[in-house]
Structure formats: C-alpha cells, structure tokens
C-alpha cells in the first residue's frame, strides 16, 4: 500500500468512514422517530421516554469498554494476518459482553424507579418511564453482544454491513412505531409500551441478521475457544475509554444545569444547539472508526509509517467535511434551529450557540482523527487523560466560574470552543511524538 497516492488514501478513508457515519446517524434518526410518535400521546410520555433515553444513552459509555478493545486488537491481528487470534478476540469479547450486560438488565427491570427518583421526577413520569425501562432492559444483552459484532466488522473495514442493517432496522422500527404506539391494522394502541416493544423487536431482528452474517456467512472468522490472555488484553485497551466516557458523561448534565441559570429559553436553545451539533458530529464519528481500523491494521502489518500517512489523509478529509459543516452552522444557524422550534427567543439562543461552535468544527475534526488513530494503536490512556482533564478543567470549571460571576453565555460557549481546539492540539502533539507506533496490545 506504500505506493498509494494521497488522493487514493483519502478515498480509502472515506469508503470506511462514510458508512460508519451514516450508521450512527441512523441511530439518532431512530430516536427522533420514536419521540415524534410518543409526542402524539402526551407531554408526560415525552418527558418519561426522554429521561429513559438519557439513561439508555449511558449504556453506550459502558459499551465503549468492548467497542475500543475489540477494534484495536482485531484490526491489529487482521493486519498481522493472524485470523485465529482476531477470531478469538471477537468470540471472547462477545461472551463477556453478554455476561457483563446481565446485571444492567436486572437493574433496568427491577430498579428502574430509582433512576427517576435520582432526577426528582414526578410520580406519573416515573410510572410511565418504568413501563418503558422494564421492556427496554431486555434488549441490553442484545445491544452489548451486537456491539462486539459491529466493532469486529468495523475492524475489518466492513462498515457497509452495519449500515445496511441499520437502514433495514430503521424501516422496521418506523412501521412498528406506527402500529404499536398509535394502534393500526387491528393492533391495540400500546402507547409508551408500544415504542419499547418496537425497539425491542427491531433490536432482536437486527441481532439475528448480525448472527447470520457473522457466524453463518462467516464475515468474522470466530474461533470458539476461551482465551483469558486475549480477553484481558482487549479489556485493558478498552478500560481507559470506558473510564473516559463515564467521567465525561456527567459534564453534559452539569453544563445543562449551568445554562438553565440563564432561563428556560436559554436551556431550550442550548439543547437544540447540541442536537444540531450532534448530527454534525456524524462525519467525525465515521473518521474515528476509519482511523482506528486503518491504524490497527497497519501496525499489525508492521507498517507504522503507513498508519501515519493514512491518519494525515483522514485529517485532511475530516477538516474538509467538518469545516463545511462549521460554515453551515456559522452562516445559517437560524434556519437550523427553526427545524426544532418556532419560539423566537429559543431560536436566538440556539443560533448563538451554533455560530460559536461552528468555529470549532475543524479542530473537532482533527480531534476525532487523532482520537481514532491513538485508540487504534491501543494508546487509550492518553486519550482518557487529555479528554477528561480538558473537559473538566478547561470547559466545565470556567463555566462554573463565569456563571457565578454572571458573565453572558456567549463567553461560556466561546471558552468551550477554545477548549476543543486545545484538546485537538494536545492530541496532535502526542501523535507527532510517535510513541503510539511501538505500543504493544
């Protein structure tokens, strides 16, 4: 691959990253569709399901333990042409993910009411939300096991397969939402229970497709034997990323609480701004997947210089895509915000957030690529330290001080944008030092 032109390298990155980005976008679309149907039931139902989805989102922090460890080792063994070890990693992580998820299932089913008490939700919201959580909890083992299969396919560069499955799942979920939530074609209207059943059935159907593709069609060459050593190595790589997600997830809650001090419209605008930015993040997520897979593959093949060249190509592509997104956020924030609300004050607050965060999209693109490259190399400790320290000390702490001093949200958002640039710069410095090239996983 050393004779690849720079343009061909970019094309290779895009072939892997685009389906991965679209797959993650499909996940967001599915959640939006669910909420649109729930909105036709009642405001209480929207609140209950919304809170439930926040807790469901925490599951993805737990799943990073398996995502990153699986991808880093499988891609490394794939590049080293050691398919047996790659298959052992996938199989052992698959089994461990299922075992790990069982306690989370039990908490979701038997203790869901406690989750609502923590946020001080009313009795009605707790009652409705618990119905959703009890049904949803049965999908947790499927979610974790499927995550390992998804990550293994990504490690081989087969990102199109999860994307196609995601498209099929979105169509099934849309139909089931219509049938089960509102009641159609002779089915009873199940309300909130209906959206949970729709999600559960869709997940189960997707899981069967993954099983067929990975185990029967053998897109992943599983080796069904226990390997304590490879399991330990995969978990060792994934653990810092898991800790990173667990320590940074609360920052979103803290920052929302701080913005709420400026009024309901400010908080609503902030939430809308983050939702728009979340959609804008999808190309970045794709570049993380691509650089993880390519970096691991090249290091496994003993070609760290190729990994470095692909990371550079990914950086150029990410800056082009994220920079375009940033321009749209900067120049057209009002139309973007009006997709979600018509309230003038809320739109103005959302537009302020989007204009400022539009300036940070190129640094974020660089950050995504550097994070993917370092994680693909197994250097998850560095990303854990840099991300956790920067977010808490350079974003949250200044926001606390500025809220206490009564400084306007403009400056709080500007500091957040600058923090993204600092974080990207630190990861670039780590990457250029090259220690990641010799990390053993």
User: Cα separation of 76 and 439, whole Å?
Assistant: 11
Chain centroid offset of residue 376 CA: 16
107 or 168: which leads in pLDDT: 168
The confidence band for 121, taking pLDDT boundaries of 50, 70 and 90, is low
pLDDT over 70 (residue 248): yes
Q: Residue 416 is encoded by which pair of tokens?
A: 């957040």
Chain centroid offset of residue 157 CA: 18
User: Cα separation of 211 and 134, whole Å?
Assistant: 25
pLDDT over 80 (residue 94): yes
Instruction: Name 92's Cβ contacts closer than 8 Å, sequence gap at least 6.
Output: 226, 227, 230, 231, 234
Question: By three-state DSSP, how is residue 259 classified?
Answer: helix
Q: Give 189-204 pLDDT, tens digit per residue.
A: 888 888 889 999 999 9
In this prediction, what percent of the chain has a pLDDT beyond 90? 50
For residue 74, with 0-12 CB atoms within 10 Å meaning exposed, 13-18 middle and 19 or more buried, which class applies? buried
Could you give the number of structural domains in the chain? 1
Return the CA Rg of the chain. 22
1 domain-assigned: no
- Name which of 5, 7, 22, 65 is nearest 287 in CA terms: 22
pLDDT, mean of residues 106-130 = 75
- Helical (H) or strand (E) element with 272: helix 264-280
268 or 156: which leads in pLDDT: 156
307 or 32: which leads in pLDDT: 307
Q: Residue 285 is encoded by which pair of tokens?
A: 């997520």
Q: Give 167-225 pLDDT, tens digit per residue.
A: 999 999 999 989 898 888 878 888 888 888 999 999 999 999 999 999 898 888 888 89
Most confident of 130-134, 233-237, 242-246: 233-237
pLDDT over 90 (residue 90): yes
User: Cα separation of 170 and 175, whole Å?
Assistant: 9
User: Cα separation of 404 and 423, whole Å?
Assistant: 25
133 domain-assigned: yes
37 domain-assigned: yes
- Name which of 246, 384, 294 is nearest 12 in CA terms: 294
441 domain-assigned: no
Q: What is the mean pLDDT of the chain?
A: 87
User: Cα separation of 418 and 211, whole Å?
Assistant: 44
Q: Give 43-85 pLDDT, tens digit per residue.
A: 667 777 776 776 777 787 788 888 889 999 999 999 999 999 9
For residue 103, with 0-12 CB atoms within 10 Å meaning exposed, 13-18 middle and 19 or more buried, which class applies? exposed
Q: What is the pLDDT of residue 85?
A: 92
174 domain-assigned: yes
Of the listed ranges 190-199, 340-349, 376-385, 396-405, the one predicted with least confidence: 340-349
Q: What is the pLDDT of residue 118?
A: 66
User: Which of 233-243 are b and which e, b meaning 16 or more Cβ less than 10 Å from the residue's Cβ?
Assistant: bbbbbbbbbbb
187 or 96: which leads in pLDDT: 96
pTM of the model: 0.84
440 domain-assigned: no
pLDDT over 50 (residue 369): yes
pLDDT, mean of residues 113-127 = 70
Q: Is the distance from CB of 317 to CB of 10 less than 8 angstroms?
A: yes
Q: What is the pLDDT of residue 21?
A: 85
Q: DSSP string spanning 287-306?
A: HHHHHHHHHHHHHHTT-HHH
Q: Residue 382 is encoded by which pair of tokens?
A: 């560095």
Q: Is the distance from CB of 199 to CB of 133 less than 8 angstroms?
A: no
- Name which of 129, 87, 133, 93 is nearest 110 in CA terms: 133
209 domain-assigned: yes
User: Which of 22-48 are b and which e, b meaning 16 or more Cβ less than 10 Å from the residue's Cβ?
Assistant: bbbbbeebbbebbeebbeebeeebbbb
User: Cα separation of 359 and 19, whole Å?
Assistant: 26
pLDDT over 50 (residue 1): no
Q: What is the pLDDT of residue 40?
A: 73
Q: Give 290-334 pLDDT, tens digit per residue.
A: 899 999 999 999 999 999 999 999 999 999 999 998 999 999 999
Residue ranges making up the domain that contains 196: 6-434
Q: Residue 119 is encoded by which pair of tokens?
A: 């946020």
Q: Is the distance from CB of 221 to CB of 49 less than 8 angstroms?
A: no
Q: Residue 115 is encoded by which pair of tokens?
A: 């989750």
The confidence band for 120, taking pLDDT boundaries of 50, 70 and 90, is low
pLDDT, mean of residues 273-291 = 84
The confidence band for 415, taking pLDDT boundaries of 50, 70 and 90, is very high
In this prediction, what percent of the chain has a pLDDT beyond 70? 96
The confidence band for 4, taking pLDDT boundaries of 50, 70 and 90, is low
The confidence band for 392, taking pLDDT boundaries of 50, 70 and 90, is very high
Report CA dihedral (333, 339, 341, 343) to the nearest 10 degrees.
Answer: 50
Q: What is the pLDDT of residue 119?
A: 60
Give the angle subtended at the CA of 342 by the CAs of 340 and 346, to the nearest 5°: 80
pLDDT over 50 (residue 115): yes
């Amino acid at each position: 691959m050393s004779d690849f032109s720079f343009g061909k390298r970019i094309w290779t990155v895009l072939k892997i990253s685009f389906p991965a980005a679209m797959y993650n976008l499909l996940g967001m679309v599915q959640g939006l569709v669910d909420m649109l149907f729930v909105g036709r039931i009642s405001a209480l139902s929207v609140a209950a399901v919304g809170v439930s989805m926040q807790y469901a989102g925490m599951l993805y922090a737990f799943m990073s333990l398996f995502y990153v460890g699986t991808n880093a080792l499988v891609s490394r063994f794939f590049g080293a042409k050691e398919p047996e070890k790659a298959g052992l990693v996938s199989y052992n992580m698959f089994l461990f993910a299922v075992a790990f998820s069982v306690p989370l299932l039990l908490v979701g089913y038997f203790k869901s009411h406690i989750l609502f008490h923590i946020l001080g939700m009313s009795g009605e919201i707790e009652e409705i939300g618990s119905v959703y959580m009890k049904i949803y909890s049965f999908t947790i083992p499927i979610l974790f096991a499927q995550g390992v299969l998804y990550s293994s396919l990504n490690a081989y560069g087969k990102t199109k397969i999860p994307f196609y499955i995601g498209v099929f799942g979105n169509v099934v979920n849309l139909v089931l939402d219509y049938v089960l939530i509102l009641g159609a074609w002779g089915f009873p209207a199940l309300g909130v229970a209906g959206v949970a059943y729709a999600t559960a059935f869709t997940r189960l159907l997707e899981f069967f497709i993954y099983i067929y593709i990975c185990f029967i069609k053998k897109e992943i060459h599983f080796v069904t034997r226990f390997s304590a050593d490879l399991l330990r190595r995969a978990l060792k790589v994934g653990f810092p990323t898991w800790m990173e997600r667990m320590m940074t997830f609360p920052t979103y809650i803290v920052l929302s609480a701080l913005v709420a001090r400026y009024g309901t419209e400010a908080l609503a605008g902030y939430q809308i701004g983050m939702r728009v930015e979340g959609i804008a993040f999808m190309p970045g997520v794709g570049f993380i997947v691509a650089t993880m897979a390519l970096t691991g593959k090249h290091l496994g093949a003993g070609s760290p210089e190729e990994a470095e060249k692909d990371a550079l190509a990914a950086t150029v592509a990410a800056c082009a895509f994220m920079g375009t997104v940033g321009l749209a956020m900067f120049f057209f924030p009002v139309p973007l915000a009006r997709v979600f609300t018509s309230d003038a004050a809320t739109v103005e607050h959302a537009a302020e957030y989007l204009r400022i965060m539009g300036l940070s999209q190129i640094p974020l693109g660089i950050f995504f690529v550097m994070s993917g490259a370092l994680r693909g190399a197994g250097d998850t400790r560095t990303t854990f330290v840099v991300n956790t320290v920067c977010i808490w000390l350079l974003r949250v702490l200044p926001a606390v001080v500025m809220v206490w001093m009564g400084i306007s949200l403009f400056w709080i958002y500007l500091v957040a944008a600058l923090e993204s640039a600092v974080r990207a710069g630190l990861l670039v410095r780590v990457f250029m030092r090259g220690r990641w090239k010799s990390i053993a996983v």
